Structure 1
């Protein structure tokens, strides 16, 4: 039995893309070449790995092989990029996972910057909730992730992201330099039950308030639309600022609570060498953006002064 990396790469591409045609486009190969690679892998293993349906599904064996295939390709990429780094040519693809708020508010600007600053590194984005991001990092689906308030360990802090009140522009407190959460007690409070709820509960607790949201909505866009409609107010992190329409305003909030946005790699295997290059580039970009906006209060998350490990 002989299993090789091109076979595993084709297998993973078909699983991730949901079909052979889309996988071929992702790999820059013909569909027949992808089909041949997967078929040869199945012959080597003497059993089918995929159910040829729409979308393609893994068989029971395919599901067992999948995490090992991801780890094998991740290890191969690390070896290739260590060699590239030693040769002074940082190239390759980094698969970056992040939560929806970070993907929508922070990542687009970073992608534009990385495209200019590190043109030989391709960044592919995977959006998921906090548990999905952690799983993808552990099983090799993602090479790196922007995680929120991770426990002590390797990581490079990109930003300190503070929480603010989201109010209609005609709200009586919208023009204040900051607002106390207690002053919003009479407003219906809206919440999106995601990873931020723990910190929003903490803000209420620090103020001596009972956390009793009037409405819970899953989607961030729905939450913002409800504030626009005058249904209530909410609390969002600063990284959401670019998503806020002109008839709403983010106002600094008391008590002050923030979260750390940290770029990190997998916990139990070597990092893709490009991760630190991307992190250093990102911190420099965010610091420059924050400096240029310093004349205008609360224009975005406060960034770390330099790329540094999180102890």
Structure 2
């Protein structure tokens, strides 16, 4: 039996992406090449590894193979680290995970900076909720991540991200310097369960007012559109500012709270040299603008 790294990489990519087309895009390969790699792995193991449904999912054997595939690919990454350290070359592809809000509001600036400072490193972004991002970083799916309020450890704090009330420009409080959450009690409150709900709950708790959202909206763009339509108001993090259209305003909300956004590599493994280079570059950028 001969199993090779490209086969394992294709199999893992299909499982993580949920389909062959998405995996091909992630790997920068054709869909037929990914299908061929997975099929050849299945032939070597003499059994199917995937249920070809929508989304694609692993078979019972596939579930058993997954941890070994991840271990093998992690070992390959470690070999790449040793080689890169020896050569002193800051090259390669870094898989960066972050939440949707951070991906849209903060990551584009970083990508532009890294493209100028480290043109030989390719950064590919992946979006997930906070728990997914942390899990991807630790299981090797991602090489780096922008974590929200991580425990103490290595990393570069990119921002101390405060919270803001999102209001239409014709709202009675839109001209204020700041908004007390208690003053929004008469407005329908909107929230995204996959966003900053824990922090928003804490703001309400500190103010001594009940947290009773009128609508729960998964997608941030939908949430913003509903505020535009006058359906209600919400609270977003400051990093969301680039996404706010001109007919809405973001105002500091009282009581004030914030979250730390930290660029980090995995806690339990050595960072790939390219990840260290990105972190050092980001730290240099922050020092230059402070």
TM-score range, shorter chain: 0.7 to 0.9
Please give the alpha-carbon distance, in whole angstroms, between the structure 2 residues aligned to 1:21 and 1:152. 35
The answer as to whether partners of 1:81 and 1:90 remain within 8 angstroms in 2 is: no
Deviates more, 1:213-222 or 1:230-239: 213-222
- Which residues of structure 2 form unaligned runs of 5+? none
Q: Which residue of 1 aligns with 2:83?
A: 83
Matched, 1:26 2:27: yes
Please report the RMSD computed on the Cα atoms of aligned residues, expressed in angstroms: 2.6
**In the TM superposition, what is the alpha-carbon distance from 1:46 to its structure 2 partner?**
3.5
Task: Report if the CA contact (8 A) 1:95-1:144 is conserved.
Answer: yes
Shift of 1:58: 2.8
Deviation string, structure 1 residues 58-80 (Cα, Å, up to 9, x no partner): 32212221232123212312321
TM-aligned CA distance change 1:89 to 1:187, over 3 Å: same
Residue matched to 1:301 = none
Partner Cα separation in structure 1 for residue 39 and residue 190 of structure 2 = 52
Structure 2 counterpart SS, 1:104? helix
Contact 2:155/2:279 (<8 A) preserved? no
Report the TM-score, using the length of structure 2 for normalisation: 0.88
Aligned ranges 1:189-268 → 2 under 5 Å = 189-268=189-268
* Distance in 1 (alpha carbons) for counterparts of 2:237 and 2:169: 18
Against the structure 1 CA distance between its residues 39 and 226, is the aligned structure 2 distance closer, same or farther, given a 3 Å change threshold? closer
Give 1:238 shift.
Answer: 0.5
Displacement of 1:24 in angstroms is 8.5
Distance 1:252 1:62, change over 3 A: same
| Residues 27-59 of structure 1 deviation map (CA, whole Å, 9 limit, x = unaligned) | 547945x55544443344333323456765432
Instruction: Report the CA distance shift for 1:232/1:36 in structure 2 as closer, same or farther (over 3 A).
Output: closer
Partner secondary structure for residue 253 of structure 1:
strand
Which whole-Å CA distance do the structure 1 matches of 2:194 and 2:269 have between them?
28
Which SS does the other structure have where 2:114 is aligned? Answer: helix
Alpha-carbon displacement from aligned partner over 1:148-171 (angstroms, at most 9, x marks no partner): 111233333211100011111122
- Which 5+ residue runs of structure 1 have no aligned equivalent? 292-304, 306-311
TM-score by length of 1: 0.82
CA–CA distance in structure 2, aligned partners of residues 211 and 56 of structure 1: 39
1:69 is aligned to 69
Looking at structure 2, the residues matched to 26 and 85 of structure 1 have their Cα atoms a distance apart, in angstroms, of: 24
CA gap of 1:209–1:55, structure 2 versus 1, over 3 A, is: closer
Does structure 2 conserve the Cα–Cα contact (< 8 Å) formed by 1:81 and 1:91? no
1:109 shift after superposition: 2.0
Q: Secondary structure, in 3 states, of the residue corresponding to 1:246?
A: coil
C-alpha spacing 1:183/1:287, structure 2 compared with 1 (3 Å)? farther
Change (3 A) 1:182 1:62: same
**Distance of 1:232 and 1:24 partners within structure 2:** 38
- Residues 215, 28 of structure 1: CA spacing in aligned structure 2 closer, same or farther, 3 A cutoff? closer
Q: Report the 3-state secondary structure (helix = DSSP H, G, I; strand = E; otherwise coil) of the residue aligned with 2:267.
A: coil
Separation of aligned partners in 2, 1:53 and 1:216: 30
Matches within 5 A, 1:179-194: 179-194=179-194
Cα displacement string for residues 180-217 of structure 1 (whole angstroms, at most 9, x for unaligned residues): 22222222221111241111111111122121222222
CA change 1:38–1:233 in 2 (3 A) is closer
Secondary structure of 1:174 counterpart: coil
| CA deviation after TM superposition for structure 1 residue 11, in Å | 2.7
- Tell whether the 8 Å contact from 1:158 to 1:279 is kept in structure 2 after alignment: no
Find out whether 1:47 has 2:50 as its counterpart: no
